[in-house]
Structure 1
């Protein structure tokens, strides 16, 4: 048996919201769409555990990579931004230095041979490494030997741990992402497919590693729900809210999917008021039921997939 998350949505300020969520005047189109992948890690830097946010972005013109490290003294973060422009003179291998709380951080990256699969985040043959006090505090990618050789730094005493991952994906019927539910194991391919128009009743499929684990028929009545599935014999909770796909203008809002490893637990404080608001969702705002900020901080790991339907 599965249960609904009862956390209320917390609105984000315009500076915190991804570009897609700030486009409220006009629907998102293929030309204005900007795919983003946000990965938040906890890393031990200069004597403190800090949140490190890695933002990969892609639009029609270019890629970009932004690394932000949380300060201990205040809520501001130190940021290192890397523009990955597609022209032939783009330096796909680089180095930058920035500071957090007076401590120097060195960022190295090599994406000359990086492989992409539609997402702004590469999946193979690359590295991005963050060094503090001659110690590797964050290492992304699979080219680890090259990263250590380039950084000339020792491995950290503790590894950084991914906190949560958010991805904004644009498409017509199919949306895909990748995630490792156990960070010690390989990533899984996740695909959400839908049929919301035509003579048949709207329906949706959610597959992991090519196997359909969830098939929702009569989607117009079941546009919000949750189910626990097994991935390599391990339970993963899947939550969805696709009200916008069915009742809002294309590109005006997104469908939301949450993947959380572990078995479901009953929440005795279900909000009956929210439970009875099924058809009154606001097409211009985020999902009522799920909050990235409030829920992820109570979890070991969560994947949030924002699926934007565009014409």
Structure 2
């Protein structure tokens, strides 16, 4: 059965196992809107029955829309380039935001929800190009002749932070860019031993996780100093609980920012919370998880003395190369 050929199940809940994401990536960029810096969040979510991109503007919150990337996987069904106009008449009179996108034939790395090439997503404000991501510059130039579209005119936007929810049993893989270079990050956890691999080479081994379920160490990626934080309390405490997840942070420079979770991310974390509650867990959980809260606060306090919170830091890190990769590693049978 081809899922795209039939009606999709309700995606507002994650009650069924088919709606648990195979991969979920949230990228936080710093952009300019009307000469004011703000945060743009792109959330790429892939499940068995859906593949979506949620675009949101923060600080102040202006809008959030979700774009379906299905059925681009199938050669006989093709997405068409799309656009969306947003008129901010209530709080921002005479200000207009327009989105353009093309996910007709995107290419993806293995199991990734975020495309590697053959796509674009664009944001313009009152006819001025403010954000461009992708590589189909010529196609965009033909479609939007009034926008100044050229690599030398509009550079790659600064990526401040990246959150990824990865799913596996003992091994988890992510791909991230550290100061311009793309690397494959591997996390292996087996027999009480944690291994961190970068591009297939082991960078760190942590033994006796029963006692060292939280910690941080310094590693180097192509000569770049990276602070690594881990928190596998859920795994050590819950054993083989399928809903348990480890939290890992790779931090370069001053680190990044962490706007609140929304859309597919929020639904996934709520599902985790409800599963723990249904199982009679005795640990009070007032945030997505106690593990998440502690390791994020720890990572940020190591850089700024605790001046920012784990969910709504407002530091500007795009100019000095600061970047953080946050991995939620979910155990699956």
TM range (shorter): 0.7 to 0.9
- 2:192 aligned with 1:202: yes
Q: Following the alignment from structure 2 to structure 1, what is the Cα–Cα distance between the partners of residues 230 and 195? A: 11
**In structure 2, the residue corresponding to 1:247 is in which secondary structure?**
helix
Structure 1 pair 46–298 and aligned structure 2 pair: CA distance change class (3 A): closer
1:108 to 100, 120, 126: 100
1 or 2 for the larger relative contact order (CA 8 Å, sep ≥6)? 1
5+ residue gaps, structure 1: 1-18, 196-200, 265-279
Shift of 1:54: 0.9
- 2:162 aligned with 1:165: yes
**In structure 2, the residue corresponding to 1:290 is in which secondary structure?**
helix
Q: Following the alignment from structure 1 to structure 2, what is the Cα–Cα distance between the partners of residues 53 and 234? A: 26
Structure 1 pair 306–54 and aligned structure 2 pair: CA distance change class (3 A): same
- Which piece of structure 1 moves more, 214-223 or 91-100? 91-100
Structure 1 pair 178–296 and aligned structure 2 pair: CA distance change class (3 A): farther
- 2:28 aligned with 1:40: yes
2:112 to 119, 126, 141: 119
Structure 1 pair 223–231 and aligned structure 2 pair: CA distance change class (3 A): same
- Which piece of structure 1 moves more, 140-149 or 230-239? 140-149
Partner of residue 299, structure 2: none
Structure 1 pair 131–189 and aligned structure 2 pair: CA distance change class (3 A): same
Normalising by structure 2, what TM-score?
Answer: 0.70
Equivalent pairs counted in the alignment come to 263
- 2:85 aligned with 1:97: yes
Matches within 5 A, 1:63-142: 63-70=51-58, 75-86=60-71, 88-100=76-88, 101-102=92-93, 103-116=95-108, 117-142=110-135
Structure 1 pair 96–263 and aligned structure 2 pair: CA distance change class (3 A): closer
Task: Report Cα offsets for 1:122-148 as digits up to 9, x if no partner.
Answer: 122221111223332111123334334
Q: Following the alignment from structure 1 to structure 2, what is the Cα–Cα distance between the partners of residues 148 and 205? A: 46
Q: Following the alignment from structure 1 to structure 2, what is the Cα–Cα distance between the partners of residues 263 and 107? A: 31
- 2:185 aligned with 1:186: no
Shift of 1:247: 2.1
Structure 1 pair 188–144 and aligned structure 2 pair: CA distance change class (3 A): farther
Q: Following the alignment from structure 1 to structure 2, what is the Cα–Cα distance between the partners of residues 42 and 80? A: 18
Shift of 1:55: 1.1
Q: Following the alignment from structure 2 to structure 1, what is the Cα–Cα distance between the partners of residues 290 and 316? A: 20
Matches within 5 A, 1:291-306: 291=296, 292-293=310-311, 297=315, 300-306=322-328
**In structure 1, the residue corresponding to 2:117 is in which secondary structure?**
coil
Normalising by structure 1, what TM-score?
Answer: 0.74
- 2:330 aligned with 1:308: yes
Shift of 1:255: 0.6
Task: Report Cα offsets for 1:194-230 as digits up to 9, x if no partner.
Answer: 21xxxxx421211112211111222222221111111
**In structure 1, the residue corresponding to 2:311 is in which secondary structure?**
helix
5+ residue gaps, structure 2: 1-10, 256-281, 297-309
